[in-house]
Amino acid sequence: MDAFDPVREDRFSFGLWTVGNIGRDPFGGPVRPALDPVQLVEGLAECGAAGVNLHDNDLVPFDASASERDAIVGRFKDALTRCHMSVPMATCNLFTHPLFKDGAFTANDPAVRAFAVRKCMDALDLANDLGATIFVFWGGREGTEADACRSPITAIRHMREAIDFLCGYVKERRYPIVFALEAKPNEPRGDTYLPTTGHMLHFISTLQHHEMVGVNPEVAHETMAGLSMVHGVGQAMETGKLFHIDLNAQKIGRYDQDLRFGSEDLRGAFLLVRLLEGTAGNAPYTGPLHFDAHAYRTEDQQGVWDFARGCMRTYKVLKARAQAFDADSEVQQILQHNHTGVAHQGIAAGWSTERAAALRAQRIDPDALGARGLRHERLDQLMIEHLLGVRG
Ligand code: GLT
Ligand code: MN
Ligand code: MN
């Protein structure tokens, strides 16, 4: 045990589908036996995780009867209590069954859309039963290959109708649940509607109950789109919309890899942890730290637990590195130096005729500003040295 071993207070969580991943891919079958959800809860608790997340069908099979459901859920709840584990987030599988092959909320057939919404109502009952307060929507099949099959305008409208309806359900039932929308640019569909966190943030602003809907950005998905996860998460935090997060790693230009957190793009992971923890002075993210990743296909179950510990340990190491970086006096000096120009008089205070006149009167020397070196090379090198462990 060292300072980086995960403990419950760290708020780490994993999906049943992550540590339960059996290593199937499009080119080969499973390499690990499927574990019972109860065994997964026990294993996660032993690793130091605080929470376990699930899709409805990770726990309750698609065609289970009501009594089967109750028995499965009862046994799972006993395991949660015994292992002191919670379910911070739950979600609904709207992608596995053939019925959803052309989408769920955005499918052309109203019967498919009705089935999808009804399945989510049941999944929300389950989420509430397990004490989850966050409900994620990942529209895996909400997209197209043959784009002439529907107008994207209609698709977005149908998506809005479904989310508005389900917000109504949560409100009527008085469930203490908020929604978190997860974007992905493609896979399994050729193109997914609402492909990035930025698209989601705007879509949310058009919803009837926008106050109860935020985002669930995923490192791999933003990276697939060639975007900066840190910038997307920053925008979500700035608008109070970071309700949940999917931490993992990804090489650019690949399929969705869902790798162990920090195993690719270490500097991106460092900057993300720095932002989430607020070591640079911003308000920290206080929600669950969820890893939506899975072990390499080379691993047996022992390797899966190595993978889970690795995700959590890397997060904690990066947190310590970020704290040391922001406490470094040379880093602070550079950051302060960059912020001590002539004060912008009152832009933040908002428009007024007087403030506009003051702004016009302000003496600003563009050539002097343009000639100034910002010392970003030194700043970035300091970050690299902190990351490599040779400083701080
Ligand atoms: C699936 C997907 C993830 C989503 C999960 C929630 S399921 O594994 O690849 O990114 O977060 O539906
Ligand atoms: Mn995800
Ligand atoms: Mn993914």
| Selected catalytic residue, list 2, 56, 58, 246 | 58
The arithmetic mean of pLDDT across residues 65-85, rounded, is: 98
What's the pLDDT tens digit per position in 326-373?
Answer: 999 999 999 998 766 555 658 888 999 999 999 899 899 999 999 999
Q: What is the CA radius of gyration of the chain?
A: 23
Q: Does residue 292's CB lie within 6 angstroms of at least one atom of ligand 1?
A: yes
Q: Is 53 helix (H, G, I), strand (E, B) or coil?
A: strand
User: Which residues have CB less than 5 Å away from ligand 2 (the ion)?
Assistant: 218, 246, 292
Phi then psi for residue 139, to 5 deg, are: -85, 70
233 pLDDT above the threshold of 60:
yes
Q: What is the pLDDT of residue 343?
A: 59
Residue 370 CA to residue 127 CA, distance in Å, equals: 55
Q: What is the pLDDT of residue 340?
A: 60
Catalytic-residue membership of 191: no
What's the pLDDT tens digit per position in 116-134?
Answer: 999 999 999 999 999 999 9
| Selected catalytic residue, list 5, 10, 36, 55 | 55
Q: Is 258 helix (H, G, I), strand (E, B) or coil?
A: coil
Lookup: tokens for 217 = 């950005």
91 alpha carbon – ligand 1 mean position (Å): 9
What is the atom index within ligand 1 of the atom nearest the CA of 221?
A: 10
What is the atom index within ligand 1 of the atom nearest the CA of 216?
A: 11
Helix crossing, 301-327 with 376-387: angle to 10°?
A: 140
Q: Pick the ligand that lies closest to the CA of residue 222.
A: 3
Q: What is the pLDDT of residue 348?
A: 86
> What percent of the chain has a predicted confidence (pLDDT) above 90?
95
Cβ contact 246:276 at 8 Å: no
Q: What is the pLDDT of residue 337?
A: 83
What's the pLDDT tens digit per position in 137-185?
Answer: 999 999 999 999 999 999 999 999 999 999 999 999 999 999 999 999 9
The arithmetic mean of pLDDT across residues 309-327, rounded, is: 98
Residue ranges covered by each domain of the chain: 8-323, 329-387
Q: Pick the ligand that lies closest to the CA of residue 224.
A: 3
What is the atom index within ligand 1 of the atom nearest the CA of 17?
A: 8
Catalytic-residue membership of 58: yes
What's the pLDDT tens digit per position in 271-300?
Answer: 999 999 999 999 999 999 999 999 999 999
Q: Pick the ligand that lies closest to the CA of residue 188.
A: 1
pTM strictly above 0.75:
yes
Average pLDDT, the chain: 97
The arithmetic mean of pLDDT across residues 11-22, rounded, is: 98
Q: What is the pLDDT of residue 342?
A: 55
Q: Does residue 222's CB lie within 6 angstroms of at least one atom of ligand 1?
A: no
Q: What is the CATH architecture of 8-323?
A: Alpha-Beta Barrel (3.20)
Residue whose CA lies nearest to ligand 1 atom number 5: 138
243 alpha carbon – ligand 3 mean position (Å): 17
Beta bridge partners of 51: 13, 86
> What percent of the chain has a predicted confidence (pLDDT) above 70?
98
What's the pLDDT tens digit per position in 81-124?
Answer: 999 999 999 999 999 999 999 999 999 999 999 999 999 999 99
Measure CA of the first residue to CA of the last residue in the chain; give whole Å: 22
Number of helices and strands (H, E) in the chain?
15, 10
Q: Is 240 helix (H, G, I), strand (E, B) or coil?
A: coil
